[in-house]
Amino acid sequence: MINARLATPDDLAVLVDLYRNLEKEMLDLHSMWPLADGLSEPVDESFAEVLEDDDALVVIGSVSGYPFGFLLARVESMLPQADGERIGSIRLVFVELEARQVAVGEAMRDLAMDLLRAQGISKFDAHVLPGHRLAKNFFEAGGFSARSIVMHHDDNRE
């Protein structure tokens, strides 16, 4: 049975383990990920702060009660000309390889979006690394489309 629920402080160890697996996967795609796109170290403290933040949520996805993934989203302000409208930004999403293709990610994404909609959010972003075709396809299947690409240059990188 696939399930998605809000994470609690009791889930911190599980979240850190899942995050470390996400970090390994993202490092293969881009060395900047843990420096610019991941969570601040120590990760357990970052998760604890997010769990207390009214403008953020963390969802745990499970199969038959066993946690296989997490999603972290934040509510962010748009520019002043948006008249106070805010956007739901899915910053991190990860599902263990063995649980992909069974709708764990979809359950987490849908719950997060439903919870954000309940707060009046109607616009959503999802952050995906270039080259991460599976993540791009996952979000496109959920109705997302690209609206921005961040380009990067590093003078210290060969």
Q: Which residues pair with 73 in a beta bridge?
A: 57, 90
Which tokens is 98 given? 């063995």
Q: What is the pLDDT of residue 158?
A: 63
- The span from the CA of 14 to the CA of 20, in Å, is 10
Q: What is the pLDDT of residue 154?
A: 86
The angle formed by the CA atoms of residues 20, 51 and 124, to the nearest 5 degrees, is 85
Enter the DSSP assignment of 42. Answer: S
Q: Please state whether the predicted TM-score (pTM) of the whole model is above 0.85.
A: yes
The candidate with the shortest Cα–Cα distance to 72, out of 47, 103, 96, 52, is: 47
Q: Which residue has the higher pLDDT, 96 or 157?
A: 96
Q: At 94, is the secondary structure helix, strand, or coil?
A: strand
Percentage above 90 pLDDT, the chain: 89
Q: Is the pLDDT of residue 83 over 90?
A: yes
Domains of the chain are: 2-141 (3.40.630.30)
* pLDDT tens by residue, 3-13: 999 999 999 99
| Radius of gyration, CA atoms only, the chain | 16
